[in-house]
């Protein structure tokens, strides 16, 4: 059964001819027909016959079987261009914004044998941890359809969790892969910005530090490694992109190396962050399992000023969003979401001096994090401050009272 095997195993069986790309397309569209009406994860769905023809063309060239994602159905976050499909950014004003070509990310997925079925839903401008917009509505959590799938890659998370697609791209500025992954029992990954290249066509892309990056959501780390090897690496159109030594699929640890790994548990950052009841206990239960497998887990005492962290981050983020909206002539759009309106009003009056101070704070905070990574191989903390919320509300007003 296709549903019972990982992406790794699916790719292997497809290359051996035990499963056909046509079988995978049939399976995905069956899952979409069954689950998408209630989940609202995939938007701008391509006609099944069209995708089937693309699969048939892929099969005809025998050497395509060597591609990393041979015959794998995919749906792309509605921030990235897919030729002949709308890129809406979750905004009604862009509902007819038909892409004339693929983004770099999509080109790399297609060149590795991926078959694009449609787009995955996002909050407006991918702002926020709840996937909801005026154009398409809210995306539900596969495990409880009354709850949110998180955000901003919420459509991607629900699509993977429900097996409409085996893996998905996302993007992550401040948790947009990791938060929905946590809400849907998946793995979410935010790589170092620049590892996955992007189309940098706006002035702001040249003026601002990299805050967001494409990422990935998957059911297993092994599945994720295939996706990342398909899309990572330098591209001539992205001056910030770079190559990685080695590959994700080739990464491994010996038992001896694994036993020496050190994990630093940040928890609630010395009481500075509030979490919904049960989240810290759940995380510590998992860390205890790692300790039982001979890994060292330490409670980390650190002096990171989370108020400065928030101030520096929000200054950079709000100014970034404001400049993006201004360059896109959307700064006066009264239909923007609450989150976008907040960033717009907050970012409008941020000065260059404010930005410079934030960059200095960012550098100082980075030094403290670098020090911790000198002591530990991994730093652990919860992926979200609260469990999935009701999908009909915009955001929680308070956490645990």
Identify which of 8, 189, 162, 186 has the alpha carbon closest to the alpha carbon of residue 75: 162
Looking at 31, 46, 67, 77, which residue is catalytic? 77
Cβ contact 146:140 at 8 Å: yes
DSSP 235: B
Distance of alpha carbon 26 from the chain centroid: 26
Looking at 140, 148, 153, 176, which residue is catalytic? 176
Identify which of 184, 160, 210 has the alpha carbon closest to the alpha carbon of residue 391: 184
Distance CA 289, CA 281 (A): 13
Q: Would you call 363 a catalytic residue per the annotation?
A: no
Cβ contact 127:321 at 8 Å: yes
Q: Would you call 153 a catalytic residue per the annotation?
A: no
Q: Would you call 158 a catalytic residue per the annotation?
A: no
Strand-pair category, 42-43 with 115-120 = antiparallel
Looking at 152, 184, 212, 358, which residue is catalytic? 152
Looking at 41-189, list the stretches that DSSP marks H as alpha helix, in order from N- to C-terminal side: 48-60, 104-111, 154-161, 178-183
Q: Collapsing DSSP states into helix, strand and coil, what is residue 114?
A: coil
List the catalytic residues: 77, 152, 176
């Amino acid at each position: 059964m296709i549903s019972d095997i990982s992406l790794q195993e699916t790719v292997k069986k497809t290359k051996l001819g035990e499963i056909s790309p046509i079988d995978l397309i049939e399976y995905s569209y069956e899952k979409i027909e069954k689950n998408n009406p209630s989940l609202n994860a995939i938007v701008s769905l391509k006609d099944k016959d069209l995708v089937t023809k693309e699969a048939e063309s892929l099969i005809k060239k025998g050497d395509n079987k060597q591609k990393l994602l041979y015959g794998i159905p995919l749906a792309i976050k509605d921030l990235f261009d897919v030729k002949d499909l709308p890129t809406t950014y979750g905004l009604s004003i862009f509902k007819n914004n038909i892409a004339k070509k693929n983004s770099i990310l999509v080109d790399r997925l297609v060149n590795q044998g991926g078959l694009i079925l449609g787009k995955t839903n996002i909050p407006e401008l991918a702002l926020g941890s709840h996937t909801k917009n005026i154009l398409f509505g809210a995306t539900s959590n596969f495990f409880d359809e009354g709850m949110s799938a998180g955000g901003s890659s919420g459509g991607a998370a629900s699509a993977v969790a429900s097996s409409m697609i085996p893996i998905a791209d996302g993007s992550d500025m401040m948790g947009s892969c990791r938060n929905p992954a946590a809400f849907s029992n998946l793995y979410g990954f935010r790589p170092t910005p620049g590892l996955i290249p992007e189309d940098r066509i706006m002035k702001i892309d040249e003026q601002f530090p990299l805050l967001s990056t494409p990422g990935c959501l998957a059911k297993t780390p092994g599945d994720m490694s295939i996706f990342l090897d398909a899309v990572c690496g330098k591209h001539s159109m992205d001056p910030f992109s770079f190559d990685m030594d080695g590959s994700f699929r080739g990464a491994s640890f010996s038992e001896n190396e694994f036993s020496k790994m050190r994990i630093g548990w940040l928890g609630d950052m010395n009481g500075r962050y509030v979490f919904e009841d049960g989240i810290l206990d759940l995380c510590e239960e998992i860390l205890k399992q790692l300790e039982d497998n001979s890994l060292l887990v330490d409670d980390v005492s650190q002096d990171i000023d989370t108020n400065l962290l928030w101030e520096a981050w929000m200054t950079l983020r709000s100014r970034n969003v404001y400049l993006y909206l201004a360059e896109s002539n959307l700064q006066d759009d009264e239909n923007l979401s609450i989150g976008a309106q907040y960033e717009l009003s907050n970012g409008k009056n941020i000065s260059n001096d404010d930005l410079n101070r934030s960059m200095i704070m960012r550098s100082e905070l980075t030094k403290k994090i670098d020090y911790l990574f000198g002591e530990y191989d991994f730093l652990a903390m919860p992926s979200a401050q609260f469990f999935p919320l009701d999908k009909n509300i915009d955001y929680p007003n308070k956490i645990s009272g």
